[in-house]
Amino acid sequence: MHKLFLPAQAVGASLVYFDLFVPATIGYRDLKIFSIVPVVSGAVAVTGVVAVDLFLTRTSAVGTGGTAATAEGTDLAAATFTAVDNSQPIILSQLSARLTPTGGATAGAILAYRSLFSEETNAGTYTQVNLVSSQVLVRPGTGIRVVQGSVASVGNIGFDVLFSV
């Protein structure tokens, strides 16, 4: 099992928060995603009356720009892959992930939709939801991404992704 940690970032209309991609060049190796949990940061004071709509979609293009995820990173403000069982290290040539990609990570089929409230004084803000209601299979040459809907809001959201290769 592996995790992809994505630190909190400011919400934004139509923002692609991250992508996770399996290159076609690695041969036949599927990625199984078990959970994608958005985490609303309570460390940011916001006054919001509008929720954040999040969409999990497929993508057929690797994300470009943004910030590439590292392997086994220690920076609390950077995206990083981590092996839950450290006997199975992450090999970055087999996976790609970008925090806030500026290109690529094009829209594909919608897999899930959730709406989150990001105002820190509302108890519902901290109720954890999973964007994956059943296991999502990602084949080589494809990926997934999480994008916010077209309505702006306030706050910061990070993500915790649990998967196996």
pLDDT digits (tens, 9 = 90+) for 63-107: 999 999 999 999 999 999 999 887 777 777 788 999 999 999 999
pLDDT of residue 48: 63
Contacts of 134 (CB under 8 A, 6+ apart): none
Number of domains in the chain: 1
- The pLDDT, as a whole number, for residue 121 is 67
SS3 string, 19-66, reads: EEEECHHHCCCCEEEEEEEEEECCCCCCCCCCCEEEEEEEECCCCECC
- Per the listing, tokens 């109720």 go with 127
Angle at CA of residue 57, ends 56 and 62, nearest 5°: 120
Residues of the chain with pLDDT under 50: none
What pLDDT, on a 0 to 100 scale, did the predictor assign at position 123?
66
Nearest to 9 by CA among 98, 129, 71, 111: 98
Residue 68, class by beta-carbon neighbours within 10 Å (0-12 exposed, 13-18 middle, 19+ buried)? middle
- Torsion (CA) 37, 41, 46, 48 in degrees, nearest 10: 10
Cβ neighbours for 146, distance < 8 A, ≥ 6 positions apart: 16, 17, 18, 36, 38, 54, 55, 56, 57, 131, 159
* Distance (Å, whole) CA 87 – CA 108: 34
Task: Look at residue 78 in the predicted model and tell me its pLDDT.
Answer: 94
Domain range holding 89? 2-164
How does DSSP classify residue 133? Answer: S
**0.75 exceeded by pTM:** yes
